[in-house]
Amino acid sequence: MKRPPPRALVTLAAVALAFVVLSIGLPHLQTAAPFAAPPADSAADSAAPAPPWRVHADTLHRGETLSDVLVRGGVTPAMVSRILGAAPELDERRMPAGLPITVRTPPGDSTPAEVVFQLAVDHLVHVQRSGDSSWTSTEERLPWHTDTIVAGGTVEENLYQALDDSAASLLPTEARAELAWSLADIYEYRVDMSRDLQPGDSFRVLFERSVGPGGIVRVGDILAVRFHLSGSEVDAVRFDDGGSRDDYFDQTGRSLRAAFLRAPLSFRRISSVFGMRKHPILGIVRRHEGTDYAANAGTPVRAIGDGVVVFAGWRGGYGNLIEVRHRNGFVSRYGHLRAFARGVRAGRAVQIGETIGYVGMTGLATGPHLHFEILVHGVQRDPRLALRSTGGPPVPAAERQRFDSVRTEALARLDGGVS
């Protein structure tokens, strides 16, 4: 019998091995998917991404000029004057420190092609190169979105805490503080938000919220408010009664403005109240005939009502003191002042809200604060009681029907939320 050649033996062995493999299986064997070559023309269709522009983001430092920032961003001194000359909106004398400036240079070029000045969060000035040496500017206003929402809360400590607890999902911290001070301004003739709020008091406020570029949030117009103060309800409805500006009126149609402000400082933090206390310097207990408002030195002090200055000078423990005589036998007294406002002297007429002096610590004072007193027919009275107001003038009769309609709609939106 003739033996098969060596090559034939190898072939037969391979066939036998394949038969064995197919019979018992190879569960651990995984075959790779066949490699698919790209179509012949795919390289032409996928162009390489263009290299990015070089971006130099900077800010104007205190004491710098716009030229300093531009040169730092790669702009030649010769080109700076052409860039600034192309944008009349850029007044170097009025540019604030911190102004964002961005210099953009195209790939493969050493000369910037665009400079962006952010004059405000929503106001950009683009200065672009249109040739080797020609520059033109355009302004861009970024959009804001405005909606109307309702927030409310219950006071446990103060107004800030109530808004933090209830409006954190609606407003960032800065906007909540802005809303708190806006509410204090609206009610400043009726309620001293630093002293009159009690645990359990509550409020609801209907207001406009604007969301701008980068998610910045601002509080817009307040349309209606309802405060529950120790069982009493005080509404405030925004209404144009035909005067020079919108005003706020309560549920009876009386203006929230009155003859006197409830506090002589617009930013208020009281350190002691009318009554008995231990004097911090004299070390004795005596009747503290007024209210102390702790505030930073230099905080403006305002007249709580129209009147005439009857005294402006130094008076013993009061230090620098101003006394203002108002109608109905009222006199307001402001002590420990650092300085008087320009022109304030005896005989000078002042208006409600006018700055008459600045918080200090002259006389018997351990720290900067305002000592405030009210005298009625020469007798010192608790300012909290003496300045209590039930309202100002009513809505004009000719506007009453329109006010009723505005009030009904605003309070319905306040009570039911905004649809």
User: pLDDT digits over 230-263, tens only?
Assistant: 888 999 999 987 765 679 999 999 999 999 999 9
Task: Mark 98-126 as b/e (b = at least 16 C-beta within 10 Å).
Answer: ebebbbbbbeeeeebebbbbbbeebebbb
Burial class of residue 171, CB neighbours in 10 A (0-12, 13-18, 19+): buried
Which of left, alpha, beta for 13 (phi over 0: left; psi -120 to 50: alpha)?
A: alpha
Whole-number Å distance between alpha carbons of 242 and 396: 9
Tell me the pLDDT tens digit for each residue of 366-383: 889 999 999 999 999 988
User: Is the predicted pLDDT of residue 26 greater than 50, yes or no?
Assistant: no
User: Is the predicted pLDDT of residue 409 greater than 70, yes or no?
Assistant: yes
Query: Mean of the per-residue pLDDT values for the chain?
Result: 84
What confidence score (pLDDT) does residue 273 get?
57
What domains can you pick out in the chain, each with its CATH number?
54-141 (3.10.450.350), 145-249 (3.10.450.350), 270-386 (2.70.70.10)
For the record, the structure tokens of 129 come out as 């190169």
User: Is the predicted pLDDT of residue 354 greater than 90, yes or no?
Assistant: yes
CB–CB of 241/403 below 8 Å? yes
Band (pLDDT 50/70/90 cuts) for residue 67 is: very high
What is the percent of the chain with per-residue pLDDT over 90, rounded to a whole number? 62
What confidence score (pLDDT) does residue 285 get?
59
Residue in the structure block whose two tokens are 């600045």: 358
CB–CB of 341/304 below 8 Å? no
Band (pLDDT 50/70/90 cuts) for residue 214 is: confident
Whole-number Å distance between alpha carbons of 72 and 60: 11
Whole-number Å distance between alpha carbons of 216 and 238: 25
What is the reported pTM?
A: 0.71
Whole-number Å distance between alpha carbons of 39 and 45: 10
Among 261, 266, 269, smallest CA distance to 157 is for 269
